[in-house]
């Protein structure tokens, strides 16, 4: 088959002006930490140091919570919804104006392809702020009573896979409802959250309404355990989610947890194969598989197994892995050395347990953290690669014969975040959707996000919903 060769098409990084070091954003201003500690954030594609970032200790978290409390009591909660909306609309428009810069910054710090940060992450960030701006003056019509009240100060901790988008999921509904926030971005991807702090300044957001404290797990712990916050919103691993649930259990804090997943993507024999293959690829190789709702378990009906697998292998051979800033890149860098080690380890376990590993011929850059798109076949439900979240570009393939068996296998997981169904029959889609224990069920598509639809899990995928009208509930005292 003749192969089309792509010339490099790198997006310029000159639109981003990185500072050498970044302070904490507390009470509307950037400043140092009390004890002067700092860490470096690197580009996972090249291991180049991008900037030095301040590490917030407990005293800094305390200052941030105090600033948020003051802003909550004196400014934000007292402001009419239509006035709060103006700020959110302004933030949304500035995100759009600075979209290219934010996309480049996100790809630099996270390693994700520019095509994704430009076409998915950043437009969705703006969409979330626009959407929740629209709710700010209509909360009495949201179905939570005539005058729903905010909770107070929200402590929010987010992961590294969609840094700015997770920030938007957290901050937009919180502010719309009248809460103020202290947010901690992940330690490997703090830069777009710090750019967002500048956007808050640009939008003239009253000081203290949004505070950004950077740091690692200890900073996150200091935040969620701070007695001065009323609400904890966490997205990340199930393990840390459980620790947070335990820490918050004896308190009055309202908690939402958005944790891991091991989603089944179920392909029936009547599905259009080419379309399903695109959905499988999007399901697990989008964002290098660093997606909590990734379709990491492919369930294929036995009768079309050979056809689907042959087509999937052909498609994988066309994926281009490399420079995240190249507009032709499909698969970028793994976010960190630690995550790469985890993906490698679980892949080795997959082989050792008897599954068959396959990757297309794929040259990996020498510098940086890389893992080729990988498929495991011959996977049984007992294998660790069928049960544990790999959080990388690794697909485990299983088969089924009947719809009932598909449901049984799809639900055979401690998680329950998402699922996909591929079939021509509407009745089968509805039959499956009513039986799959997953917060989101996509039909003939995968990884589709929209600010108007709620997102969240069952079982060990967490509790609470983000997005849509449902997402307001997490930030209202109802
Ligand atoms: P993590 O749970 O360790 O970190 C997520 C966030 O929580 C980060 O900001 C981190 O600094 C913070 N944190 C860590 N320990 C904390 C503590 N004790 N208290 C409060 N905050 C704390 O997740 P990770 O290291 O980013 O990734 C590990 C695994 O988590 C992944 O392999 C994947 O399984 C899962 N994950 C899930 C999602 C998701 O969207 N559901 C996103 C990222 C990672």
Mean pLDDT, rounded, for 279-305: 98
Phi, psi angles (nearest 5°) of residue 361: -60, 130
Nearest-CA residue for atom 34 of ligand 1: 237
Of the candidates 95, 148, 155, 159, which has an alpha carbon nearest to the alpha carbon of residue 122?
A: 95
- Report H helices in 250-358: 273-285, 305-316, 337-352
Mean pLDDT, rounded, for 310-323: 97
Q: Is the CB of 242 under 6 A from ligand 1?
A: no
CA 399 to chain centre: 28
94 touches 71 (CB < 8 A):
no
Which parts of 401-466 are beta strand (E)? 418-422, 440-443, 462-463
Nearest-CA residue for atom 33 of ligand 1: 237
pLDDT of 224 over the 60 cut:
yes
**DSSP designation for 414:** S
pLDDT band at 476 (very low <50, low <70, confident <90, very high): very high
- How many angstroms separate the Cα of 324 from the Cα of each of 166, 188, 246? 20, 16, 38
Q: Is the CB of 243 under 6 A from ligand 1?
A: yes
13: tokens are 């990084």
Neighbours of 316 (CB within 10 A): 24
Q: Ligand 1 mean position to 234 CA, how many Å?
A: 9
Ligand 1 atom with minimal separation from the 184 CA:
9
Q: Is the CB of 391 under 6 A from ligand 1?
A: yes
Q: Ligand 1 mean position to 1 CA, how many Å?
A: 43
Nearest-CA residue for atom 35 of ligand 1: 237
User: Per-residue pLDDT tens for 358-413?
Assistant: 999 999 999 999 999 999 999 999 999 999 999 999 999 999 999 999 999 999 99
Q: Is the CB of 217 under 6 A from ligand 1?
A: yes
User: Per-residue pLDDT tens for 87-144?
Assistant: 999 999 999 999 999 999 999 999 999 999 999 999 999 999 999 999 999 999 999 9
Q: Is the CB of 292 under 6 A from ligand 1?
A: yes
Ligand 1 atom with minimal separation from the 291 CA:
40
Spell out the residues 6+ positions from residue 405 whose beta carbon is closer than 8 angstroms to its own.
Answer: none
Ligand 1 atom with minimal separation from the 260 CA:
41
Q: Ligand 1 mean position to 95 CA, how many Å?
A: 25
Ligand 1 atom with minimal separation from the 258 CA:
41
Q: Ligand 1 mean position to 178 CA, how many Å?
A: 27
Q: What percent of the chain has pLDDT over 90?
A: 99
Q: Does 47 participate in catalysis according to the annotation?
A: no
User: Per-residue pLDDT tens for 16-69?
Assistant: 999 999 999 999 999 999 999 999 999 999 999 999 999 999 999 999 999 999
**DSSP designation for 291:** -
Q: Is the CB of 414 under 6 A from ligand 1?
A: no
Q: Ligand 1 mean position to 161 CA, how many Å?
A: 10
pLDDT of 473 over the 80 cut:
yes
- Report H helices in 353-467: 384-387, 403-410, 426-433
User: Per-residue pLDDT tens for 243-285?
Assistant: 999 999 999 999 999 999 999 999 999 999 999 999 999 999 9
Instruction: Report the SS3 class of residue 455.
Output: strand
What is the b/e burial string over 40-72, where b = at least 16 CB atoms within 10 angstroms of the residue's CB?
ebbbbbbeeebbebbbbbbebbbbbbbbbbbbb
User: Per-residue pLDDT tens for 24-35?
Assistant: 999 999 999 999
Testing ligand 1's pocket by substitution, the residue of 236, 388, 438, 439 carrying the most ligand atoms inside 8 A of its CB is 236
- Report H helices in 98-162: 99-110, 114-116, 122-135
Q: Is the CB of 221 under 6 A from ligand 1?
A: yes
Q: Ligand 1 mean position to 236 CA, how many Å?
A: 4
Confidence at residue 5, expressed as pLDDT on a 0 to 100 scale: 80
Testing ligand 1's pocket by substitution, the residue of 112, 159, 245, 464 carrying the most ligand atoms inside 8 A of its CB is 159
Sign of CA dihedral 103, 104, 110, 112: positive
DSSP string computed for 71-83: HIIIIITTS-HHH
Q: Ligand 1 mean position to 188 CA, how many Å?
A: 11
Nearest-CA residue for atom 8 of ligand 1: 186
Q: In the predicted model, what is the mean pLDDT of the chain?
A: 97
Q: Does 408 participate in catalysis according to the annotation?
A: no
Residue of 225, 258, 460, 473 marked active site: 258
Ligand 1 atom with minimal separation from the 247 CA:
19
What gap in Å lies between CA 402 and CA 432, rounded to an integer?
A: 12
User: Per-residue pLDDT tens for 155-195?
Assistant: 999 999 999 999 999 999 999 999 999 999 999 999 999 99
Q: Is the CB of 157 under 6 A from ligand 1?
A: yes
222 touches 37 (CB < 8 A):
no
**What's the whole-model pTM score?**
0.97
pLDDT band at 6 (very low <50, low <70, confident <90, very high): confident
331 touches 113 (CB < 8 A):
yes
Spell out the residues 6+ positions from residue 64 whose beta carbon is closer than 8 angstroms to its own.
Answer: 24, 26, 27, 56, 182, 211, 213, 223
pLDDT of 1 over the 90 cut:
no
Q: Is the CB of 63 under 6 A from ligand 1?
A: no
What gap in Å lies between CA 470 and CA 170, rounded to an integer?
A: 13
Residue of 292, 388, 389, 473 marked active site: 292
């Amino acid at each position: 088959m003749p192969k089309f060769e792509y010339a490099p098409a790198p997006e310029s990084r000159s639109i981003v002006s990185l500072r050498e070091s970044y302070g904490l954003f507390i009470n509307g201003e950037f400043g140092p930490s009390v004890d002067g500690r700092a860490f470096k954030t690197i580009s996972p594609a090249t291991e180049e140091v991008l900037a030095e970032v301040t590490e917030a200790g407990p005293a800094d978290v305390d200052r941030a919570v105090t600033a948020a409390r003051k802003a909550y009591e004196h400014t934000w909660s007292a402001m009419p919804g239509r006035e709060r909306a103006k700020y959110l609309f302004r933030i949304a428009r500035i995100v759009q104006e600075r979209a290219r810069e934010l996309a480049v910054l996100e790809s630099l710090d996270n390693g994700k392809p520019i095509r994704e940060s430009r076409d998915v992450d950043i437009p969705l960030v703006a969409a979330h702020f626009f959407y929740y701006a629209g709710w700010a003056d209509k909360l009495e019509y949201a179905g939570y009573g005539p005058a729903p009240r905010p909770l107070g100060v929200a402590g929010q901790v987010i992961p590294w896979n969609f840094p700015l988008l997770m920030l938007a999921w957290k901050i937009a509904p919180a502010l719309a409802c009248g809460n103020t926030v202290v947010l901690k971005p992940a330690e490997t991807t703090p830069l777009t959250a710090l750019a967002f702090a500048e956007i808050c300044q640009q939008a003239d957001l009253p000081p203290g309404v949004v505070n950004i404290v950077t740091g690692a797990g200890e900073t996150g712990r200091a935040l969620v355990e701070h007695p001065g916050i009323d609400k904890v919103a966490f997205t990340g691993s199930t393990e840390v989610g459980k620790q947070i649930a335990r820490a918050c259990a004896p308190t009055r804090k309202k908690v939402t947890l958005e944790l891991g997943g091991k989603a089944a993507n179920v392909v029936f024999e009547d599905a259009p194969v080419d379309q399903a293959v695109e959905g499988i690829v999007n399901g697990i190789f989008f964002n290098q598989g660093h997606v909590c709702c990734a379709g990491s378990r492919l369930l294929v009906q036995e009768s079309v197994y050979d056809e689907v697998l042959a087509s999937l292998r052909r498609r994988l051979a066309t994926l281009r892995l490399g420079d995240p800033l190249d507009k032709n890149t499909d698969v970028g860098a793994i976010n960190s050395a630690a995550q790469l080690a985890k993906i490698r380890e679980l892949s080795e376990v997959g082989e050792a347990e008897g599954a068959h590993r396959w990757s297309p011929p794929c040259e990996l850059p020498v510098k940086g953290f890389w893992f080729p798109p990988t498929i495991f076949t011959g996977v049984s439900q007992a294998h660790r690669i069928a049960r544990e979240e790999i959080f990388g570009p690794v697909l485990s393939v299983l088969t089924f014969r009947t719809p009932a068996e598909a449901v049984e296998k799809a639900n055979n997981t401690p998680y329950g975040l998402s699922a996909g169904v591929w079939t021509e029959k509407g009745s089968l889609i509805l039959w499956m959707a009513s039986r799959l224990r997953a917060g989101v069920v996509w039909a003939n598509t995968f990884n589709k996000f929209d600010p108007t639809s709620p997102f969240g899990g069952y079982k060990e995928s967490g509790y609470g919903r983000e997005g849509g009208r449902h997402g307001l509930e997490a930030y209202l005292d109802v």
